[in-house]
Structure 1
Amino acid sequence: MRILGLDVGTKTVGVAMSDEMGWTAQGIETIRINEERNEFGFERIEELVKAYNVDSIVVGLPKNMNGTIGPRGEACQLFAERLRERLGLEVVLWDERLSTMAAERFLISADVSRKKRKQVIDKMAAVVILQGYLNSKQ
């Protein structure tokens, strides 16, 4: 049972994968997307789903601090729905408030340079999202 975790941004999608037991999340890659051209990385996500034999997908849902859903959250809901239709898998939306900040703090504490942090922040945010989901299941 593998679960794919996604942090969907405006320019990239951070990708994380669970281990086969569903206990830990590891960062896999960052997929470049272009919303204006309707390029959302679905082909690459489908490749990863097949390669890792993924059972379900967790998509981070960016809520406002008061719990409401704004334009970015609506875009993530649409992204999740399109994934569900395309792949026929369970797609769960997971509250991702502060996931990028948590990833940033982790990388700073690990003394990762600013340049390197910029390259991996979305992947790390996907790890934070997926690990939160996995922890809720245990």
Structure 2
Amino acid sequence: MISALGLDFGRKRIGVAGCDGTGLIATGITTIERTSFEQDVEQLRQLVNQRQVQVLVIGLPYSMDGSLGFQAHQVQKFAKRLAKALQLPVEYVDERLTSFQAEQLLKAENRSPSRHKALIDRKAAALILQQWLDARRAQSHKSAIAAEY
């Protein structure tokens, strides 16, 4: 099994999600209010150590046309520094609609998205990580089937 941390990176906050022991279900853990790179890393390092994380899964905000814009490049720059600081590999997931989906989930719970920004970031991180877990599972299922033939 693999222990991964899902991150929804933003200018003000980083939503953080983790997965259960089976690697099937992602859940939001916390939201880090960003201050400095060093403090962001320190807070993430504590989670990485507690959860024995082996990989960071970071949402990459592609433009709707599939290209990488300014924000995506900022995320990649942060991710590279973070990977080096924590000495962990990084994998990216297309996060185009995760914040929107997270807002829809809140609305379904009759909560105001504008008053629950930190919760949206956490939910978005969980959606990012869930997408990665599902893709991994689908890939290993395909590999298992291919191995049979």
TM-score of the alignment, normalized to the shorter chain, above 0.5: yes
Residue of structure 1 equivalent to 2:77: 78
Unaligned ranges ≥5, structure 2: 138-149
Residue of structure 1 equivalent to 2:116: 117
* Deviation at residue 39 of structure 1 after TM alignment: 5.4
Q: How does 1:1-138 map to 2 (within 5 A)?
A: 1-34=2-35, 38=37, 41-114=40-113, 116-138=115-137
SS state at 2:106 partner = helix
Aligned residues: 136
In proportion to residue count, which structure has more helix?
Answer: 2
Q: Can you list the C-alpha shifts for 1:51-100, whole angstroms capped at 9, x where unaligned?
A: 11111110110010001111110011011111211122111111100110
In proportion to residue count, which structure has more strand?
Answer: 1
Identity of aligned residues (%): 39
* Deviation at residue 40 of structure 1 after TM alignment: 6.2
SS state at 1:41 partner = helix
- Measured at CA, do residues 40 and 58 of structure 1 come closer, stay the same or move farther in structure 2, by a change above 3 Å? farther
What is the letter of the counterpart of residue 131 of structure 2? G
| Superposition CA RMSD, Å | 1.5
Does the aligned pair in 2 maintain the 1:104–1:117 contact within 8 Å?
no
Return the index of the structure with the highest Cα Rg: 2
Unaligned ranges ≥5, structure 1: none
SS state at 1:54 partner = coil
* TM-score of the two chains, using structure 1 as the length reference: 0.92
4+ long deviations beyond 6 Å:
none
